[in-house]
Chains A and B, each alone.
Chain A
């Protein structure tokens, strides 16, 4: 696996992910992840330190199964959550994509994100860094996300944050 080939694969997945979330194509978005994926938004414990261990420290979001993400997706579309009614409109931007490591079985990526959103006549944004690990898809068709770590820089949260806002 060449670096530029990994960059093409990674860039495509990250751009797809942003677009799927913006277009609320939730099932497509879930299919980007492996069954046993780790989805982790660590919390800050001070201005400079992030939580390091999701099992002994409290994260903002932590799941180690895609089915947990599916719960959240269901909630958003259920009509039973006032926090998601009306749904914020979102714009995902991903840039500065770096390949940190690549082989035929693993691609590690770093990137920067910003998600602007608008709801109830107000606009705001979340921004930070993504760390991704991609592995070949189980069906042999392309690559899937096996780890997605989201470091959210602005963690003074106005009202709420959900998976589609980072």
Chain B
């Protein structure tokens, strides 16, 4: 019988009970440190969090033309996204059905046909097999000839207003249902232009030697900004006072104690934080009146705030002066690959686009003034987590625990949201309960995954 994991200690759903102490009413939410350092648990995450449900693949503006292709991954599985000759999107395992070689070797480009470099099997941009080399002489069976030998199509592929999600699992809920709640925040990005959003060319890929959940948390961690990024804060302050010709993201936008802030968690592990900022620093501010007219004041005002959010499990946005889109790919329990993209509204005036790009580079690039500090801190945490003599669980998920409520708060109702939890107050609250939903989802998916495997094995 196949075991759910290779670890003798993790064989039944209840073996995962120790991972979370989830007792918010009594002021406790603790995550066991094994969830960041145990390779057996990491394997379970890949299998039941990433490879069994929706994950983000790409934005359609990354492959705009017929026959364009882009290589991405669902955890460890190489996935080739292509547009066929009619411009229809398809997603396939980038694996030759013959011997398993990568059919397409390149990150992105435009090709009508992909020829496997090993034995020359050839596939068109719709994933169909168009050639098996020397087939007639191959003495194949009738069974062989009855098969199409095309690339394996992803079990599920759906497009939410330009954002493409895929799954290896055919039995996933419809994407719109999966995204319910957090889709309002995707809309907030998409609706900045009547023509939608686009990924601006020029990406950065980087890695850090730490568990992927360091990033998962950090994107919605308001508490770290003043202590991890003081150098950035000082630089932006001096630029602002020096009257420089472009004012960058100001850290004061995040941590001003006098402004309202809050956060929401949703079903399926999604979450979002918002904070009132200085809208005039945003390239988008120039279009405020037009936005109010087109999407209404409530949504336009949300677009003017600083908003960070997670589309669980692998997509995150930071929306402040500019928009960063991050895609997480866990490589090992203690190694993560990041892809970072700058997103903007289509049709943006040239000068505003320039401002957006340079603000983005300064803050978000792994070659910029802030992200290196985050990555270095993740590695530092990972190093500390390896110390088994320390407490089994940390204290990093309880800030704000007396403030969080079930269901929507007033602002959520105004926005038309129905979150699982809400927490709002002054920006110095810097709440940590916003992480809870993702951890609940991770552990729940692993438990139900193990239960299903045990069921099948019976």
Binding site for B on A (CB under 8 A): 41-47, 51, 54-62, 67, 71-72, 74-75, 78, 80-84, 120, 155-162
- A51-B202, A56-B350 known; A82 and B228 CB under 8 Å? yes
For B201, give its contact among A45, A67, A156, A161 (CB under 8 Å).
A45
Which B residues are CB-close (under 8 A) to A81? Answer: 231, 372-373
- Asked if B274 is at the interface (CB within 8 A of a chain A CB), the reply is no
Asked if B372 contacts A162 (CB within 8 A), the reply is yes
Asked if A157 contacts B202 (CB within 8 A), the reply is no
Which A residues are CB-close (under 8 A) to B202? Answer: 42-43, 45, 51, 57-59
Complex: how many Å from CA A134 to CA B357?
A: 27
Which B residues are CB-close (under 8 A) to A82? Answer: 228, 373, 376-377, 380
Binds A, one of B128-136, B174-182, B205-213, B259-267: B205-213
Which B residues are CB-close (under 8 A) to A61? Answer: 361, 365, 367-368
Which A residues are CB-close (under 8 A) to B3? Answer: none
CB-based A-B contact count at 8 angstroms: 122
Which A residues are CB-close (under 8 A) to B375? Answer: 83, 159-160
Nearest CB in chain B: distance from A113 CB, A: 16
Asked if B239 contacts A46 (CB within 8 A), the reply is no
Asked if A57 contacts B201 (CB within 8 A), the reply is yes
- Asked if B393 is at the interface (CB within 8 A of a chain A CB), the reply is no
Asked if B234 contacts A78 (CB within 8 A), the reply is yes
Asked if B235 contacts A45 (CB within 8 A), the reply is no
Complex: how many Å from CA A42 to CA B371?
A: 18
Asked if A47 contacts B106 (CB within 8 A), the reply is yes
Question: Could you jot down 22 A-B contacts, CB within 8 Å?
Answer: A45-B201, A51-B202, A56-B353, A56-B357, A58-B203, A58-B342, A58-B361, A71-B369, A74-B231, A75-B231, A75-B232, A75-B369, A78-B234, A80-B234, A81-B373, A83-B372, A155-B205, A156-B205, A160-B366, A160-B371, A161-B366, A161-B367
Asked if A157 contacts B235 (CB within 8 A), the reply is no
- Asked if B161 is at the interface (CB within 8 A of a chain A CB), the reply is no
Nearest CB in chain A: distance from B325 CB, A: 11
Nearest CB in chain B: distance from A80 CB, A: 4
Nearest CB in chain B: distance from A128 CB, A: 13
- A46-B109, A75-B235, A159-B207 known; A62 and B372 CB under 8 Å? no
- Asked if B360 is at the interface (CB within 8 A of a chain A CB), the reply is yes
Where chain A touches its partner, the secondary structure class is: loop
Asked if B367 contacts A160 (CB within 8 A), the reply is yes
What does the 1/0 interface line of B370-391 toward A look like (CB < 8 Å)?
A: 0111011101100000000000
- Asked if B297 is at the interface (CB within 8 A of a chain A CB), the reply is no
Which A residues are CB-close (under 8 A) to B232? Answer: 75
Complex: how many Å from CA A84 to CA B204?
A: 20
Asked if B372 contacts A57 (CB within 8 A), the reply is no
- A58-B202, A160-B206 known; A47 and B107 CB under 8 Å? yes
Asked if A56 contacts B373 (CB within 8 A), the reply is no
Asked if A59 contacts B361 (CB within 8 A), the reply is yes
- Asked if B420 is at the interface (CB within 8 A of a chain A CB), the reply is no
Complex: how many Å from CA A45 to CA B234?
A: 32
Complex: how many Å from CA A71 to CA B235?
A: 6
- A46-B109, A72-B369, A82-B376 known; A159 and B231 CB under 8 Å? no
Smallest Cβ-Cβ distance to B203: which chain A residue:
A43
Nearest CB in chain A: distance from B191 CB, A: 22
Complex: how many Å from CA A148 to CA B371?
A: 23
Asked if B358 contacts A78 (CB within 8 A), the reply is no
Complex: how many Å from CA A57 to CA B106?
A: 21
